[in-house]
Amino acid sequence: MAVNKEAYQRIATYCSRAGATLVAVSKTKPIEDILALYELGHRDFGENYVQELVSKQSQLPADIRWHFIGHLQTNKVKYIAPFVHLIHGIDSLKLLQEVNKQAAKCDRSIDVLLQVHIAQEDTKFGLDEQELQALLSFPQLPAMQHVQIRGLMAMASFTNDEEQLKAEFAAAKQIFDRITYNSVLVKSPHLLSMGMSNDYELAIAAGSNVVRVGSLLFGARHYPQ
């Protein structure tokens, strides 16, 4: 088993002192690895793929808080709506409407984060500030009773350049501050999800209060060919 319990204790302590939620990103990793952290008391786990998440959820304890951190397709929302704790990557009005609709069917309210684009690479998903404002100004939004927008999710560039990472995280924090201040539709407690294995300390220093850490806890991922 590849779970690094020492790294877990260290990172969990770091996050808890900083007031940040540690989401253990378990994509591609087996049930036993998730249970190993569960037994240490961990409850927040993140997955990127709907099918994998649904399968794991059905085999694991019901008190796990499942975070969906991948790119969610509209036609798959229905599979995770019954149980998902937080959807991190909402990047369109259409997707938000579908989450609202599926949550209503389950008689739930689902917490979501809007994905903001900060990376210099243009491969990463997300909305720029103007698009965020446009989404938050949509006239039907206040009537969506089954979604709660809690804040933003951001992914920095894939780089070791600390200055660049700091600049990108700072940009995300500024946008986060503006939208949480300006929009009554962003409900507290406000969440800013940014930071991964490579950069979670920098992200927390910049104001992140949710970090998504995978490989430091579970080891490198191996994708099937």
Ligand X SMILES: *Cc1c(COP(=O)(O)O)cnc(C)c1O
Rounded distance between C-alpha atoms, residue 57 and residue 53, angstroms: 6
Name the one range near ligand X by CB under 6 A: 72-80, 126-134, 172-180, 193-201: 193-201
Q: Kind and range of the H or E element at 113? A: strand 110-117
Name the one range near ligand X by CB under 6 A: 13-21, 55-63, 165-173, 213-221: 213-221
Binding of ligand X by 117 (CB under 6 A):
no
Name the residue nearer to ligand X (CB basis): 141 or 216.
216
Alpha helices in the chain (DSSP H): 5-18, 31-39, 50-59, 77-80, 93-105, 129-136, 162-182, 200-205, 215-218
Name the one range near ligand X by CB under 6 A: 99-107, 161-169, 183-191, 192-200: 192-200
Binding of ligand X by 28 (CB under 6 A):
no
Q: Both tokens of residue 71?
A: 């790119």
Name the one range near ligand X by CB under 6 A: 93-101, 164-172, 174-182, 191-199: 191-199
Binding of ligand X by 213 (CB under 6 A):
yes
Q: Both tokens of residue 107?
A: 């008689």
**Size of residue set near ligand X by CB under 6 A:** 12
Residue written as token pair 């243009």: 122
Give the list of residues 6+ apart from residue 190 with CB closer than 8 angstroms, or none.
150, 151, 176, 180, 209
Contact pattern for ligand X over residues 68 through 107, marking x by CB under 6 A: -x--------------------------------------
Contact pattern for ligand X over residues 135 through 154, marking x by CB under 6 A: --------------------
Contact 94, 74 (CB under 8 A): yes
Nearest to 108 by CA among 98, 117, 97, 100: 100
Taking the complex as a whole, the smallest distance from the CB of residue 27 to ligand X amounts, in Å, to 6
DSSP 143: G
In this chain, which of 20, 37, 192, 196 binds ligand X, going by CB under 6 A?
196
Give the list of residues 6+ apart from residue 42 with CB closer than 8 angstroms, or none.
8, 12, 22, 24
In this chain, which of 148, 197, 201, 219 binds ligand X, going by CB under 6 A?
197
For the segment 153-172, give every residue that binds ligand X (CB under 6 A).
155
| Beta strands 147-155 and 110-117, pairing class | parallel
Binding of ligand X by 126 (CB under 6 A):
no
Interface contacts to ligand X, rule CB under 6 A: 25, 27, 48, 69, 155, 196-198, 212-215
